[in-house]
Chains A and B, each alone.
Chain A
Amino acid sequence: MIRRALLVVLALALLAVGFTGDRFWLQFMGKAMIGCIFAMSLDLLVGYTGLVSLAHAAFFGISAYLLAGLSNHYGLVSPVATLPICLAGAAFAAVVIGWLSLRATGVYFIMVTLAFTQMLYYLFNDAPGLGGSDGLYVNERPFSGRTTAYFAIWSALVIVYAVLLRVLHAPFGHALVGIRVNEQRMRSLGFPTPRYKLVAFVIAGTLAGLAGYLDAALYGFVNPAEFGWRQSGLVLMTVLLGGKGTLHGPILGALLLTFVEHYGEQFTVHWNALIGALVIAVVLFLPRGLAGLVHARD
């Protein structure tokens, strides 16, 4: 009950930021909320289904690049047209990568998802016309003005939270948890678990695509580092930092990490070391994340 009230307060606070019109805070909190969507979608795989995927950045990047391509080459800008196309692109990539990767299990799955992400990184980095490692500008963005983009991101976050909540409380979500706990048992109960895992993978990938779309729309810029395995590792860390297997955990993690990243960058040029130390500390001392800390108290 308290948790739900806190989330509503948080959502309203985030909404209020939109009315300030302050350039820095719109960009900053917009980025943080995109991180929330990205991390929540990954948690569907990691925390609920028990699939440690390192391919998540791939779907973020594909969708972002698609937006840049649509805007720059076809003059397609309106979100009504571009959003469905970008999400479909991410979903399609998730079907292909998921179908191949899910043939492997456990630690093989982790390595295979990383390998496919890296493959896409090289492809987008090397492909002619995509700007190489410098990336691309999105000439015309889907949302006019920063404030509009901010409200779009806010709405997306609320919708994604609601949809994921619904999915997790539907029979499908229970089945995912069952698969994490004991996949063999679920199979012998008659669940075609490979299909369930693939559907979860595609939902998560599509939502990661949504995050990528919003990111490109907010910044007007895409680059191949979005595919990098650092990005995949960072979002995985966001989930663990916040608390896997909860929806509010990844939100907490993403908000906190955005602050750490921002002020870390100001504090030292070696802020990556700071992040590294933070990851290690979280793994060793806070395996249930910030959400676990809260639960332990009540």
Chain B
Amino acid sequence: MSFSLFGLQVLNGVEQGLLLFLVASGLTLVFGVLGVLNFAHGSFYMLGAYLAFWISAGTGSLLAAVLIGIPVMASLGFLVERLAIARLYKRDHLSQVLLTYGLVLLFNELQRALFGNDVHGVDAPRLLAFRIPLGSAQEWPAYRVFTAAACIAVAALMRQVILKTRFGMRVRAGASNAEMVEALGIDVRKLFSALFSAGTALAALAGMLAAPLTTVYPGMGENVLVLSFVVVVIGGIGSIKGAFFGAMLVGLSDTFGKVLLPGLASAMVYAVMAAVLLVRPRGLAG
């Protein structure tokens, strides 16, 4: 592998990891604070991607799709939390798994009914439709650079919100001790709703950003969900920092797996997870 190819793979891995981080951070915080394992989290990613496809096909602008799609998805998250997830607090894991599994089936059918089973391409914004040369032999599409930058910006914003705002403080308190939040007299209902719809919006944003890169297809939510689980297992539940490192590890091992072991690419990520489990069963942060 030449040096420039190696560099390209690192960049691709990091970028994939960043997208995954947007999804996994919502998943891990929702579990850490609300105590609910949400299998439908991948569906939000999938719905985000389909919204990007649909709106950008109509308006010709991915930016418009993001600006319209994010509030739509945040509202959907709010509704889902109020109508379904809220009934799961204090229920056992089995109920959580199955109810959110039911939601996945519903969202999948919704997608099938609205968009069918076809794979759809989404155009990257025309402004970003050029390639950046990387060394002599490789080049990197500008849209990928933009995606990575956008993810980093969102992650930095998230960090500010979590460390500096009152909302962030409550989330941190909730992730370390859910009962304490109640004891502090914080309106838990509002906190939970807000956090859940924020997580939904993040997953959807990741789907929208990924749409031009991966195309839009049925079942894309499940793939991301399982990868996010691996991220959370590696990083430790409720830990944003863990989710970040986990996502990077998964992104890189997936990318390099595809180059180095093409036949076993998909297994690479799980091998990493198994290795982490052997050493630290509660995740790197646990």
Contact = CB atoms under 8 A, between A and B. Distances in A.
Direct contact, A vs B (beta carbon within 8 Å): yes
Interface of A: 46, 52, 54, 100-101, 103-108, 110-112, 114-116, 118-119, 122-123, 126-128, 229-230, 233, 236-237, 240, 244, 270, 272-273, 275-280, 282-284, 287
Interface string B266-279: 11011001100110
A111 B277 contact: no
Contact of B237 (A108, A112, A229): A108
Interface residues on B, range: 35 or more
Contacts of A119: 266-267, 269-270
Given A110-B37, A115-B230, A276 B98 contact: no
A270 B97 contact: no
A273 B112 CA distance: 10
B263 interface: yes
A276 B106 contact: yes
B123 interface: no
15 contacts: A52-B97, A54-B97, A100-B274, A103-B277, A107-B37, A112-B277, A115-B230, A123-B266, A123-B267, A236-B97, A270-B113, A272-B109, A279-B98, A280-B84, A280-B99
B233 A282 contact: no
B109 A240 contact: no
B103 interface: yes
Contacts of A236: 94, 97-98, 101
Majority secondary structure, B binding face: helix
B95 interface: yes
A233 B98 contact: yes
Contacts of B263: 126-128
Contacts of B229: 111-112, 114-115
Interface string B174-196: 00000000000000000000000
Interface in B17-32: 31
A116 B270 contact: yes
Contacts of B99: 279-280, 283-284
Interface centre among B31, B109, B222, B263 (most CB of A within 10 A): B109
Given A112-B233, A270-B113, A280-B103, A126 B278 contact: no
A272 B105 contact: yes
B278 A108 contact: no
A103 B281 contact: yes
Interface string B101-139: 111111011101100000000000000000000000000
Interface in B221-263: 222, 226, 229-230, 232-233, 237, 263
Given A46-B94, A111-B37, 19 more contacts: A52-B94, A54-B97, A104-B233, A108-B233, A108-B237, A111-B229, A112-B229, A112-B233, A115-B270, A115-B273, A233-B97, A233-B98, A233-B104, A240-B98, A270-B109, A270-B112, A273-B106, A279-B105, A280-B84
Contacts of A112: 229, 233, 273, 277
A282 B91 CA distance: 13
B105 A114 contact: no
Contact of A279 (B102, B108, B269, B274): B102
A212 to B, nearest CB: 21
Contacts of B37: 107, 110-111
A112 B280 CA distance: 13
Nearest to A276: B105
A122 B98 contact: no
Closest 8 CB pairs of A and B: A276-B105, A279-B102, A122-B266, A273-B109, A119-B270, A280-B102, A111-B229, A276-B106
A104 B277 contact: yes
Contacts of B90: none
Contacts of A107: 31, 37, 93, 237
Contacts of A287: 91, 95
B267 A122 contact: yes
Contacts of A100: 274, 277-278
Given A115-B230, A123-B267, A275 B94 contact: no
A110 B93 contact: yes
Interface centre among A46, A105, A237 (most CB of B within 10 A): A237
B87 interface: yes
A92 to B, nearest CB: 16
B112 A279 contact: no
B101 A233 contact: yes
Given A107-B37, A115-B230, A279 B277 contact: no
A114 B105 CA distance: 16
B94 A244 contact: yes
Interface string B30-41: 010000010100
Nearest to A103: B281
B119 to A, nearest CB: 14
Contacts of A229: 222, 226
B90 to A, nearest CB: 12
Interface string B73-105: 000000000001001000101110111011111
